Amino acid sequence: MVRDLKKQAEDNSGYSAKNITVLEGLEAVRRRPGMYIGSTGPTGLHHLIWEVVDNAIDEAMAGFCDEVTITLLPDHKVEVRDNGRGIPVDIHPTQKISALEIVMTILHAGGKFGDGGYKISGGLHGVGASVVNALSTDAKAEVHREGQIWVQEYKIGKPQGKVKAIGKCKDTGTTITFRPDDSIFETIDFEWKIIVDHLRQYAYLSKGVKIILKDRRSAEEKTVDVTAIPYPDPTYQFFFEGGIASFVRYLNQHKEIKNENIFYVEKEAEDVKVELALQYSEDYSESLFAFTNNIHNPDGGTHVQGFRTALTRCLNTYARNKNFLKEKDANLTGEDVREGLNVVISIKLREPQFEGQTKSKLGNTEAKTAVETVMNEQFAIFLEENPKDGENIINKCLLASRARNAAKIARDAILRKGALEGFTLPGKLADCSSRDATISELYIVEGDSAGGSAKQGRDREFQAILPLRGKVLNVERARIDKILGNNELKSLIIAMGTNFGEQFDITKLRYHRIILMTDADVDGAHIRTLLLTFFYRHFPQLIAGGHVYIAQPPLFSVKVGKDIKYAFTEEERDVIISEITAKKADKADAKKKAEKVEKVETENANGEVDEASELEMLDIGGVKVNVQRYKGLGEMNPEQLWTTTMDPKNRIMKLVAVEDAEIANETFEILMGDEVEPRKKFIQTQAKNVKNLDI
């Protein structure tokens, strides 16, 4: 005991009050930017714009602003202007400095805490403008208020002088200009399409507010994106009088709809303003977007609970009153009435309570009561006033109910205990020996050939291999019973261990990394897209939890004698060739003496001959260089596959993430849905961006 106390004293001797660091002002933001904006990558960079725009939209929600202009300027600067009241500039009674300086330089300061500033706002923590200021090399605030133009400039969050009046004006409003700090962010290049898509959503949620986006950047700074309409037109305007009803119409533009009339309601209950729009389509999945004070809540919350309760009750009452459901029939379930549902819920309340800084889930109990009350009353009226729409909706729900009952038999037979017992795992799964899910990986591999290489090359301790034969089912338009009847998908579901549908349990996940490893050709890309559709539609929790990855096998091997290096792009291949032959020939000589390209036969791990490989034989200054283009994973021997694609020390993997559910949902519908025209247009638009296309 004495020795333990002595050791403890020695350990503590270097840790005292002098080791405690107190960060002054905005320094905490610069030290830990991820705590305030999520990341220092592209997502965090664009979050700076959203923080400033949020403040302008708060003015609009308060009824003092009807126009917001965002301008991308040269040298990576952004200007956000609103025609609201303007940030107050008078001297604060306790801080003894201008209120504008407080808002721009002090965390947790703003007009959203006490009374009289904002009844409703999206930013509640008072960190928006000050965080943007802290993470910018240069910033400027210009306020038009009370007939005067007030200005203050900042560098790395620090004022470069006091707030001062520089002239007269007749309008009101606030203009914030900032340049992100390139020493903090991975990139400070703003992407036009990301901004366009986000601002469109703002406009849908802010009925009657005009949002203008201008691009005044230099040609070098512009990231041209042909899918962003009408880029490269430098000005784009959003204005939706229909609000979220227009949003639902936009979401359904590529779908076959069931009710011609969109249900829309805007009403106040329990001091909560409820705005809601819904429309059914022929889809099998639900598309729901929930917002509180214009903040997206991807994990739902009490407002979503209230809506779902009321929706199920209303449709069951209507179905029984109109004799669609007989006395002996069971009620429609929540799952039945949500199939094919496309809904946007937007509520505004004074004191929202979110779970965490990310505001992903709402917790206010009054929100549930308000949405449930409004929905019960108004949706019942809608069904009575639109009997044709009501009949189509009920028939859609009844069809879903019958399919659910049929699928339940198949699901129970397949998954009742299969996901939990080792002996029921699919026979073609080469499982790993570890039972620690946190370190275990499941490689989903295309074909038996690549599967053979992967099984021989893997680390059996923590890497499992599941080869899939052929192209899996496109689940975008498939019901559950058909999905569970597909042998490849059934094997995958059982291997993952989470069960399926309502029985899904993420705590039973047997592998915390699920890695899609397909060939680098058109077929491989197609299979990968089919698998991503499967995960996005039926296992979104795995994507949200960061469990789904895409393996990146090399495209080329460059061999000189016994020395071999791997390249993942054509540019990387050229660099490797230049480095290897630098002593023998310059780049110009290398181009002159490239001799021939020929087909060679290689044997895969199963001993099968594969003629798809391309081998480029180069003679550069007397040095023989072999450049092989890999068409499939099966062309690599087990050692090569391990070294390049499966070894955690060397491999490159892409994490599958969904930053914008609306855009992802639309993309999957276009690529995997029944409608041909949208897919044709998408392909034509994106054709110029395709690299390494095998024709």
Q: Write the CATH number for 433.
A: 3.40.50.670
Separation CA 621–CA 586 (nearest Å): 9
pLDDT band with cut points at 50, 70 and 90 for residue 269: very high
Q: Average pLDDT for residues 103-118, to the nearest whole number? A: 63
Q: Are residues 569 and 496 in the same domain?
A: no
DSSP state of 470: S
Using the predicted structure, report yes or no on whether residue 592 has a pLDDT greater than 50: no
Cβ neighbour number for residue 350 with a 10 Å cutoff: 14
How much of the chain, in percent, has pLDDT values that exceed 90?
42
Cβ neighbour number for residue 371 with a 10 Å cutoff: 27
Among 21-25, 219-223, 262-266, 394-398, the least confident range: 21-25
pLDDT score of 590: 46
Q: Is 81 helix (H, G, I), strand (E, B) or coil?
A: strand
109 torsion bin: left (phi>0), alpha (psi -120 to 50), beta (else): beta
pLDDT band with cut points at 50, 70 and 90 for residue 417: very low
* Identity of the amino acid at 684: Q
Higher-scoring residue by pLDDT: 254, 605: 254
Using the predicted structure, report yes or no on whether residue 15 has a pLDDT greater than 50: no
In a domain, 473, yes or no: yes
Using the predicted structure, report yes or no on whether residue 39 has a pLDDT greater than 60: yes
**Closest Cα to residue 517, out of 650, 645, 690, 671?**
645
Among 213-227, 631-645, 665-679, the least confident range: 665-679
Q: Average pLDDT for residues 258-285, to the nearest whole number? A: 93
In a domain, 5, yes or no: no
Tokens of 88: 């107050």
pLDDT score of 588: 45
Selection from 9-13, 73-77, 111-115, 610-614 with the highest mean pLDDT: 73-77
Q: Are residues 66 and 215 in the same domain?
A: yes
User: Which CATH number does the domain housing residue 72 bear?
Assistant: 3.30.565.10
Among 511-515, 524-528, 603-607, 657-661, the least confident range: 603-607
Q: Average pLDDT for residues 682-687, to the nearest whole number? A: 60
Using the predicted structure, report yes or no on whether residue 145 has a pLDDT greater than 70: yes
Selection from 197-201, 457-461, 585-589, 623-627 with the highest mean pLDDT: 457-461
pLDDT score of 86: 92
In a domain, 407, yes or no: yes
pLDDT score of 672: 63
Q: Average pLDDT for residues 610-625, to the nearest whole number? A: 63
Burial class (CB in 10 A: 0-12, 13-18, 19+), 92: middle
Using the predicted structure, report yes or no on whether residue 258 has a pLDDT greater than 70: yes
Q: Are residues 608 and 543 in the same domain?
A: no
Q: Kindly tell me the sign of the dihedral angle through the C-alpha atoms of 122, 123, 129, 135.
A: negative
Higher-scoring residue by pLDDT: 534, 235: 534
pLDDT score of 45: 94
pLDDT band with cut points at 50, 70 and 90 for residue 555: confident
Average pLDDT of the chain is 81
Q: Average pLDDT for residues 161-177, to the nearest whole number? A: 94
Higher-scoring residue by pLDDT: 471, 97: 97
Q: Are residues 136 and 87 in the same domain?
A: yes
Q: Are residues 490 and 562 in the same domain?
A: no
For the chain, first and last CA: distance in Å? 75
Separation CA 56–CA 432 (nearest Å): 54
Using the predicted structure, report yes or no on whether residue 685 has a pLDDT greater than 80: no
In a domain, 114, yes or no: yes
pLDDT 10s digits, 337-368: 999 999 999 999 888 888 765 577 899 999 99
Please answer whether residues 129 and 51 qualify as being in contact, where contact means their C-beta atoms are separated by less than 8 angstroms. Answer: yes
Residues tagged active-site: 446, 519, 521, 523
Which of 194, 226, 241 is the endpoint of a domain?
241
Going edge to edge, which strands form the sheet with 287-292? 263-269, 272-280, 341-348, 287-292, 295-296
pLDDT score of 529: 87
Q: Average pLDDT for residues 95-120, to the nearest whole number? A: 70
Q: Are residues 283 and 403 in the same domain?
A: yes
In a domain, 475, yes or no: yes
Q: Average pLDDT for residues 92-96, to the nearest whole number? A: 85
Using the predicted structure, report yes or no on whether residue 536 has a pLDDT greater than 50: yes
Cβ neighbour number for residue 23 with a 10 Å cutoff: 11
In a domain, 69, yes or no: yes
pLDDT score of 410: 63
**Closest Cα to residue 99, out of 145, 42, 66?**
145
Among 241-245, 403-407, 658-662, the least confident range: 658-662
Which of 390, 411, 432 is the endpoint of a domain?
411
**Closest Cα to residue 282, out of 257, 262, 261, 260?**
257
pLDDT score of 213: 94
Among 90-94, 521-525, 585-589, 679-683, the least confident range: 585-589
In a domain, 9, yes or no: no
pLDDT 10s digits, 276-326: 999 999 888 889 999 998 888 888 999 999 999 999 999 999 999 999 998
Q: Are residues 477 and 392 in the same domain?
A: no
Q: Are residues 250 and 233 in the same domain?
A: no
pLDDT score of 673: 63
In a domain, 14, yes or no: no
Q: Are residues 380 and 457 in the same domain?
A: no
pLDDT score of 2: 45
pLDDT score of 538: 87
Higher-scoring residue by pLDDT: 253, 661: 253
pLDDT score of 525: 82
Q: Are residues 111 and 179 in the same domain?
A: yes
* Identity of the amino acid at 303: H
pLDDT score of 575: 85
Residue range(s) defining the domain that contains residue 613 = 556-631
pLDDT 10s digits, 210-256: 999 999 988 777 755 444 444 445 678 999 988 999 999 988 888 88
pLDDT score of 26: 78
**Residue 206 Cα to chain centre, angstroms:** 22
pLDDT score of 355: 77
Q: Are residues 140 and 184 in the same domain?
A: yes
Beta bridge partners of 441: 463, 513
Q: Average pLDDT for residues 605-623, to the nearest whole number? A: 57
Separation CA 168–CA 170 (nearest Å): 7
pLDDT score of 634: 76
Q: Are residues 451 and 572 in the same domain?
A: no
Count of the separate structural domains present in the chain: 4
* Identity of the amino acid at 190: F
Which of 376, 411, 446 is the endpoint of a domain?
411
pLDDT score of 423: 40
pLDDT band with cut points at 50, 70 and 90 for residue 411: low
Separation CA 622–CA 593 (nearest Å): 10
- Determine phi and psi for 508, rounding to 5 degrees: -90, 5
Among 23-32, 537-546, 622-631, the least confident range: 23-32
Burial readout 155-188 (b: 16 or more C-beta within 10 A, e: otherwise): ebbebeeebeeeeebeebbbbbbbbbbeebbeeb
pLDDT score of 483: 82
